[in-house]
Structure 1
Amino acid sequence: MKLLCLDSNSILNRAFYGVKLLTTSDGTYTNAIYGFLNILQKLLNDVNPDAVACAFDLKAPTFRHKMYDGYKAQRKGMPEELAQQLPIIKELLQDMGYRIITMEGYEADDILGTLSAKCEQEGHDCFIATGDRDSLQLIGEHTTVLLASSKMGRSETVCCDESYFQEKYGTTPIHLIDIKALMGDSSDNIPGVAGIGEKTALKLIGQYGNIETIYADLDAIDATKSVKAKLEAGKDAAFLSKTLATIDRNVPIELSLSDFIPQPMKEQETFELLSHLEMNSIIKKLGISGTYVPSEKGKEAREIPTVHFVSKLISELMQQAGEAPVSFLIGWNKENDEKIDAIAVCAGNEIILHHPQEGALYEQDLIELFSSKNPKYTFDSKSVYHWILSRGGELCNLTDDLLLSAYLLSANSSEYNIEGLCAGYHTGCKLDGATSMEEMEEQDRKLLEDCACLAPLHEALSEEIYKNKQEALLQDIEMPLSEVLASMEMYGFEVDTAALTEYGKMLDEKIEDYQNVIYHLAGEQFNINSPKQLGEVLFEHLGLPAKKKTKTGYSTNADVLESLRGKHEIIDAILEYRKVAKLKSTYVDGLLKVVGRDGRIHSHFNQTDTRTGRLSSTEPNLQNIPVRTELGSRLRAFFRAKDGYTLVDADYSQIELRVLAHISGDEYMIEAFNSDADIHTNTAAQVFNMPALYVTPEMRRKAKAVNFGIVYGIGAFSLSQDIGVSVAEADRYIKNYLDTFSGVKKYMEDTVTFAQENGYIETLYGRRRALPEISSSNKNIVNFGKRVAMNTPIQGTAADIIKIAMIRVYRRLKKEQLDARLILQVHDELIVEAPQHEVEQVKALLQEEMQAAAKLKVLLKADVGTGKTWYDAK
């Protein structure tokens, strides 16, 4: 038998701090549960156990607390956000068929130790999953510890067996208790011997095996007088510490190992609880289904309508529907996402499934459906726009895109699907099952069921949209934007692949040059990309000052290397090597992989990815093309207009600061922008109390950092790091700024207060972001929430404005029947590809529409440029 033992509190705690704070729509915290379930799933896949034991600690004091009052006395209580999740994960594990085990007077470690001892005695294999190194003492012939750890900011599991322990500690696993007896353990407040550290403890136990041998003849051991004196003085503490550190492997557990074989999952209960927790991805991973039952905390259950599945043509159903609302959902081909495998259409109480055949007739049938006068509901209209625009048709009278509605109502969610939304909003639909439905393939039946849910789901979501006053945000911004994004994705951006390939070869030469310089300065060859090897070279071989060594080695991240600038020539070489290597692998190689057959890159724009409302792009991420370095900015030179066309590029000038001026109503900022003054020089003049004429470039640079930092709730320490001044001086700049720009100060205070009172923050256009962090019991999380509260209305409103501008530009190009096309948006920048004879017209159009996108107390300013390449047009 193979037994997997979970140190459940340890894993839950690690998940809580490793996953950003998440809540359901009703405010239930879920991040620890979500992380725990993902860790559990990975462990089950890796170990493939026959039995699973989930050990938990109890609140009651253990025998160790009774023995020593100081045991774990320094530990703070469990955060309320985590405590709320503890009973839920226990209920969920039991519903999933796993046995939970606790024992008053003992810790989970003792339960794990007892179960592993049973496995050792009976010849079974035991795997202990934990984040606590105390369990390493349990390693044996049949016991392996799966130790959760972090490496380079990423979670990983280290498989710890006897050879691992011997290599790391130089002794056998059981003697970990002797090592702790001497050096103590600050995390558990085990005292150890005063003055004896890890190095000495490892040396002594490596030589003598245990503390009993050491204390049997203290004078005879190989140690300095000072060490012997410390050991003598700390004898009682050593033996007490050993007892505290020893896991009790004789807990009176009356269960046999076979009692931990998982029972059949209570699928309905598991489905119901996961639905309440809005964990649709976990439901999908588990492959379960069920009927959603509203909780006491939820809304009252809605009446579930029934829809009949009938066999009709789309034209017949549409004729019968008249001008009534129609729901439709498309099943896209998995290998070709432009090809329709099936379409479900629902009108009234009837629903049909249609498998289109290739050819003009089938296309015309669907085009007529999409262009009909009927109000329509669907899920993910952008994919539909892709199909219809490529065929010269239109999607008319779209009343709701359920994906976008769900996003607006819960921007913090990690995913949106119809089944999960029905559970979350307590709605759904029943299908009157016909014999033909039972014979359908699973994907067809699922498509029908999901389509049947669209109308009642629309009703539920629309109700919430109305309550939040988000109708205009949905109807006038997000839904029209789907068409714009589909068009941009379809047209793409031409790339000079030959020039990009040559650029890549040049980067390869630079990489090799930097590599040789690094080897020369290090005096040896090594793997520069290996943090372990690089750390050894920098901090052991070259003797550079290292920050504290972690369990996985020295940190060599960018912050550490930046702090070492000036200490050795090799640091600058390594930083440059990394920059060039990233350019080559991420951008050159990455871009060449995704160039289409038409020579253009067709990036995917995600409309529901960010909490602030900003767009993101993938495959590739064109919003992340580096521009701050000369070498990186040259990448834009490989993006070009097609033959006979020119790129017209317009960029909002300081839009976030202009939004801040409007929202805060600060008279100084408003005056500066409306008089077309340089805002950073103006700010410097105010902060440093001098005429603008005497502001130096250095003063302007510092004022610029304050201007942009304020938008993100920057603190004195971060500002001091950014501009290279003392914390006190940075603090003085911030205070001077807020004293001068009192409107901004009031905005920041009022916004935080609003978030604390309402639990969310919103933009000028009603876009909301839930802020569970603002009411956290953890000070650091609260401070993060305050920064988000101050920044979201600014960044989110700027995102809304650029979306409005995109819609206006797109529609104006269509209205004036121009050949020019909007092809890219990058944050505050829009790019149009225009035939040469339309360039001047497009320049004026682009600037007019961007500047007219919002009416603020300050002027919106868009700077326009042109060029054959993106680099030239900027």
Structure 2
Amino acid sequence: MHNSAMTDRNPDAPLLVLVDGSSYLYRAYHAMPDLRAVPSDPQSAPTGAIRGMINMLQALLKEYPTEHMAVVFDAAGATFREALYPQYKAHRAPMPDDLRVQIEPIDEVIRLLGLPVLRVPDVEADDVIGTLAKTAAAQGWRVVISSGDKDLSQLVDERITIIDTMSGKVRDIAGVQAEFGVPPALMVDYQTLVGDAVDNVPGVDKVGPKTAAKWLQAYGSLQAIVEHAHEIKGVAGENLRRALDWLPLARQLLTIRTDCDLDGHVPGLPALDALRRRAPDVPALRDFYQRYGFRGLLRALDDGSSETAPTAASGQGELLADAPAQPPLRYETVRDWHTLDGWLQRLRSAPLVALDTETTSLDEMAARLVGISFSVAPGEAAYLPLAHEDPGTAGQLPLDEVLARLRPWLEDPAAAKCGQHIKYDQHVLANHGILVQGYVHDTMLQSYVLEVHRPHNLESLAERHLGRSAMRYEDLCGKGAAQIPFARVPIERAAPYACEDAEQCLAVHQVLWPQLQAQPALQRIYELEVAVSGVLWRMERHGVLIDAAELQRQSQALGERIRALEAEAHALAGMPFNLGSPKQIAEVFYDRLKLPVLKKTATGAPSTDEEVLEKLAEDYPLPARVLEHRSLVKLKSTYTDKLPTMINPATGRVHTHFAQAVAVTGRLASAEPNLQNIPIRTPEGRRIRAAFIAPPGHVIASADYSQIELRIMAHLSQDPALLRAFEQGLDVHRATAAEVFGVSPEHVTPEQRRYAKTINFGLIYGMSPYGLAKALGIDASAAKSYIERYFERFAGVRAYMEQTRAQARARGYVETVFGRRLVLPEIQSPNGPRRAAAERAAINAPMQGTAADLIKMSMVAVQRALDEQQRRTRMVLQVHDELVFEVPNEEVDWVRTEVPRLMAAVATLRVPLVASVGVGANWEQAH
């Protein structure tokens, strides 16, 4: 971070640094892993937020070594704002329990570091900061406020600056103007128009940052906007006029006070002597660090370097060892052949090289190289610029010739490489004809396996595990419409950024990999993810063939049905109206037709959401037409119209992106386009799959597991009745119905089987009696009776559920059969609905997560067999428990026989795994 925040008309003026303690507190909590005082005991005291606070404060002290500083927190209890507006902050979630217990030790360690801690009763921390900042500035002091809270921007002036230590962002007068489009003096007006959702202070409905800035630029102030409200046209103008009575109160709530009475809490004002730092209490700090297991901080204390920002190795609640101090950085820019040859030698001899690309696009199939960076040792990296538009006087080496020299190393499977999201870099280099081999590690996937509930981008990983901030892409290229391509960034600025990416990637790997090695089950899951990444790269690269003409025919048919539905709806309403407008639908339903109001929106208007429409459709024809219209419009716009536009002109195929590090259960996600969410409950939705075709001489095959989550439930619960049903190859829903309704299997009616199927799947997802009643169309007492009877007959399932909930509450996570950890942050939440949702997830996550593990194992096993036998069959899609293949006609028999065998053999459970394959001319026929 640079010290531009220190600049002032009088640089010799004394400096006061004010820390927004609440901002620090929550950022420390969310940035750090779930550390514990005793690493091997997950029940010992949580310490992540404490450690994060120490890291952030010591980094701040190093950057701003001033004598005057204070850390300001909110005091308990209400303030004048709640008296003015009882709903103020009403929607804020309560502080998590594992953060609340860290508050007292955080206060203690801040004071031991020699920093004053302020909590002023009846006054919010922002108002304390505002009062102190303006008081000091009026006395000629320079003031730096350290916070990530944009609301404090209204305090900025010539002497007051806000810095965000985690992002490196500086909000001085120019910074505020650039970020928000208005100067600091208009920030209160800006915030009043936009509102503050976090504090539950509404602004003007549908007025966002751009509109607010535009109005203030045009009229000069909120007061002037109010005076000219009658001139402002459109929906925004209507909403402004409706909000005129509210705006004065909103402005009062959002204005940071700068005149609070702090007497008795900050003695000595206006002299500010009370905010003078003291020397750290080293003996007490040593005791504190020992008590909470901070070995690295102890070492730094003993070395006399307690004011440097320490780095923490961390993961899954286990502090295995503190990371070594940051080595000196040696970054080099490769602009000549001699330097490149030297680095090639280093690449060939290094045991592991971190590799990163700088490119022209986030679209992995279109991106071209701008440059490549490498790191071979801690603190050492090089950037190889290849396609910058203005290379400067030193120039850059020719791209094609450089790639020719790099190709043998890049394509060498014995040359070990690591990266951050390696699949993207593989695509980029493949766009230049290079098929990279030798990737053995991916830091994104390491984080995903170790700390699934945390962010996995490199910037977050460096903050969490190295205690280091990172240069941001936006700092180099700008934001929004003004953002420039990376190729236009001067090499002198691009090189440190690119080197840092590779060097931090290697450093993060050196922290995370030992943690995975120390936990064999997680190491196996990680190695599975790395193998799956390679399979997904091939699937994405190959793409899937789409019949654009078929989709065009479907679009035409959908358009005709949509127009027919509109005509029917207009006739039923007795007037024309826009079926895509919730407002007009509400007017027709509730004002004209007087349909019953079942639910209201947050603003008190009658709701027309899908749940309401489904309920109304049971008794009225018009809501049924609106529902069908909505679903068909979405189908047409999302799939039949859009998919043909996404065909890659170079390949003639659609190339979806499969994201691994997204779902906490381990499931893959598909995007651009999302091919996993094609609706299949309606004939129109299923018909879309008919457009997924094979080339001449090929067919489409679809392989999936049979009742996989129920089989996993049988394995986990060891319930005798469920185990018996699967072992004997029975129809499990019929068997369940026989148990629940007390009849022999042959006498189970279709309706009883349907009920049993709903119960089987519903209980996996934690369905309540109310939910079951709604699903089956029966009353709640009957649904409760069915559930009770189910648990009487399947006592093992009930015991498993109770045991899993207890285990989740004790550990904070559950596991799949294979050891993947599924973290449940809300399992101890004091908020009842959140806790209940976490308990439902605790039941379902092991089953859904195990199913995700199994299908990933199948992908790896099938791809390995295809490669070993040199088959031409291609895996093209994965949709949850299903694999889709493009199969040459002569390999159909092999796929029908071998793929189910391979899928069934990837693991041994207490019940047999069963997979089946369907074949057809298109995806729909293959089902």
Pair in the same fold by TM > 0.5: yes
2:370–2:385 Cα contact (<8 Å) kept: yes
Give the counterpart of 2:613 among 547, 552, 561: 561
Q: CA deviation at 1:670?
A: 1.6
Partner residue in 2 for 1:572: 624
Instruction: Quote the Cα distance in structure 1 between the aligned partners of 2:794 and 2:912.
Output: 19
Does residue 478 of structure 2 align to residue 423 of structure 1? no
- Aligned residue number for residue 9 of structure 1: none
**Conserved in 2, the CA contact under 8 Å of 1:612 and 1:795?**
yes
Contact 1:646 1:867 in 2 (8 A): yes
Task: Assess if the C-alpha contact under 8 Å between 1:636 and 1:870 holds in 2.
Answer: yes
Q: Do the aligned residues in 1 keep the contact of 2:665 with 2:822 (CA within 8 Å)?
A: yes
CA distance in 2, matches of 1:481, 1:169: 53
Match of 1:496 in 2: 547
SS in 2 for 1:488: helix
Q: CA deviation at 1:855?
A: 1.2
Q: CA deviation at 1:101?
A: 12
1:382 maps to 423
Aligned partner of residue 371 in structure 1, secondary structure: coil
In the other structure, the counterpart of 2:324 is: 302
Match of 1:528 among 579, 597, 607: 579
The residue aligned with 2:633 is 581
From 147, 156, 160, give the equivalent of 2:202: 147
Alignment equivalent of 1:327, drawn from 353, 363, 370? 353
1:304 Cα offset (Å): 2.4
> 3-state SS of the aligned residue for 2:630?
helix
Q: Is the 8 A contact 1:328 1:343 kept in 2?
A: no
Alignment partner of 2:94 out of 74, 79, 95:
79
Q: Could you tell me which of 786, 793, 799 is aligned with 1:746?
A: 799
The alpha-carbon deviation at position 666 of structure 1 amounts to 1.6
CA distance in 2, matches of 1:479, 1:787: 30
Q: Distance in 1 between matches of 2:375 and 2:415?
A: 12
C-alpha distance in 1 between matches for 2:254 and 2:507: 56
Alignment partner of 1:354 is 2:384: yes
Tell me if structure 2 keeps the 8 A contact 1:473–1:767. no
Alignment of 1:635-650 (within 5 A): 635-650=688-703
Structure 1 residues 473 and 402, CA gap change in structure 2 (3 angstroms) = same
| Paired letter, 1:531 | P
The correspondence for 1:721, drawn from 774, 782, 807, is 774
Q: CA 1:389–1:662 in structure 2 vs 1: closer, same or farther (change >3 Å)?
A: farther
Distance in structure 2 (CA, Å) of the matches to 1:102 and 1:251: 16
Q: Does 1:340 align with 2:369?
A: yes
Alignment partner of 1:785 is 2:838: yes
Q: 1:732 to 1:340 in 2, by over 3 A?
A: same
Cα distance in 2 between the residues matched to 1:308 and 1:454: 15
Kept in 2: contact 1:866–1:873 (CA 8 A)? yes
Q: Report if aligned partners of 1:429, 1:449 keep a CA contact under 8 Å in 2.
A: no
- Structure 1 distance, partners of 2:376, 2:256, is 66
SS of the counterpart of 2:189? strand
Residue 218 of structure 1 corresponds to none
Map of 1:706 onto structure 2: 759
Residue 691 of structure 1 aligns with an amino acid whose one-letter code is: S
Equivalence for 1:450: 501
Counterpart residue number, 1:756:
809
What is the CA–CA distance in structure 2 between the aligned matches of 1:582 and 1:254, rounded to whole Å?
57
Matches of 2:902 and 2:81, distance apart in 1: 71
* One-letter code aligned to 1:480: A
How far is the alpha carbon of 1:107 from its aligned partner? 8.6
- TM-score, structure 2 normalization: 0.66
Q: 2:687 aligns with which of 622, 634, 638?
A: 634
CA distance in 1, matches of 2:253, 2:414: 76
- Of residues 521-530 and 691-700 in structure 1, the stretch that sits farther from structure 2 once superposed is 521-530
CA shift, 1:713, in A, is 1.4
Counterpart secondary structure, 1:773: coil
CA 1:418 to 1:246, structure 2 compared with 1: closer, same or farther past 3 Å?
Answer: closer
CA gap 1:446/1:682 in 2 versus in 1, 3 angstroms: same
**1-side partners of 2:731 and 2:458: how far apart?**
49
Match of 2:466, SS state, is coil
Structure 1 stretch displaced more, 643-652 or 394-403: 394-403
Aligned to 1:820: 873
Shift of 1:850: 1.1
Question: In terms of mean alpha carbon deviation, does 712-721 or 462-471 score higher?
Answer: 462-471
Kept in 2: contact 1:314–1:345 (CA 8 A)? no
1:802-837 alpha-carbon deviations (Å, 9 max, x no partner): 001001111111111111111111111111111111
The verdict on how the C-alpha distance between 1:450 and 1:680 changes in structure 2, with shifts beyond 3 A counting, is same
Query: 1:690 deviation in Å?
Result: 1.2
How much does 1:525 deviate?
Answer: 1.5
Residue 347 of structure 1: CA displacement?
Answer: 3.0
Report the residue type matching 2:423 in the other structure.
K
Q: CA deviation at 1:602?
A: 0.5
Residues in 1 aligned to 2:354 and 2:734: alpha-carbon distance in whole angstroms: 56
AA partner of residue 453 (structure 2): N
Check 1:175–1:378 CA distance in 2 against 1; reply closer, same or farther (3 A cut).
closer
Segment of structure 1 superposing worse, 317-326 or 499-508: 317-326
- Per-residue CA distance 1:229-267 (angstroms, 9 max, x = gap): xxxxxxxxxxxxxxxx99999996589xxx9xxxxxxxx
Please name the residue that 1:127 is paired with.
189
Spell out, residue by residue over 1:102-152, the C-alpha distance to the aligned partner (whole angstroms, 9 max, x if none).
98567999999x99xx99xxx9895385799999xxxxxxxxx9725999x
Worse overlay, 316-325 or 160-169? 160-169
Task: Give, as a single letter, the amino acid of the residue that structure 2 aligns with 1:736.
Answer: R
Query: Aligned-pair distance for 1:552?
Result: 5.5
**Mapped pair 1:624 → 2:665:** no
In structure 2, C-alpha distance between the alignment counterparts of 1:466 and 1:846, rounded to whole Å: 32
Aligned-partner Cα distance in 1 for 2:246–2:502: 62
- TM-aligned CA distance change 1:150 to 1:715, over 3 Å: farther
Give matches, 1:432-447, under 5 Å. 440-447=491-498
Which digits, 9 at most, give the CA deviation of each residue in 1:333-392, with x for residues without a partner?
A: 224744332222333475433345444772462343341523332222212433566788
Which amino acid in the other structure matches residue 722 of structure 1? A
In the superposition, relative to structure 1, how do residues 366 and 444 fare at CA in structure 2: closer, same or farther (>3 Å)? farther
Match of 2:448 in 1: 407
Secondary structure at 1:634 match in 2: helix
State the one-letter code of the partner of 1:79: P
Q: 1:527 to 1:466 in 2, by over 3 A?
A: same
SS in 2 for 1:873: coil
Aligned length: 701
Change beyond 3 A, Cα 1:305–1:668? same
The root-mean-square deviation of aligned C-alpha atoms, in Å, is 4.9
How many angstroms does 1:798 deviate by?
0.5
1:365 aligns with 2:418: no
Q: Is the 8 A contact 1:761 1:768 kept in 2?
A: yes
User: Residues 740 and 161 from structure 1, CA distance in 2 versus in 1: closer, same or farther, beyond 3 angstroms?
Assistant: farther
Residue ranges of structure 1 left out of the alignment (5+ in a row): 1-11, 34-54, 92-99, 136-144, 177-244, 260-289, 432-437
> Which residue pairs with 2:645 in the alignment?
593
Instruction: Describe the superposition over 1:555-590 as per-residue Cα deviations: whole angstroms up to 9, x where unpaired.
Output: 100100111124322111111111111111111122
- Give 1:174 shift: 8.4
Flag the 1:364–1:806 CA change in 2: closer, same or farther, 3 A.
farther
Q: 1:571 to 1:365 in 2, by over 3 A?
A: same
Q: Is the counterpart of residue 482 in structure 1 residue 497 in structure 2?
A: no
8 A contact 1:389–1:487 mirrored in 2: no
Query: Is contact 2:450–2:522 with CA below 8 Å preserved after alignment?
Result: no
Aligned residue for 1:872, secondary structure, equals coil
Secondary structure of 1:833's aligned partner: strand
- Equivalent in the alignment of 2:146: none
Q: Is the 8 A contact 2:647 2:653 kept in 1?
A: yes
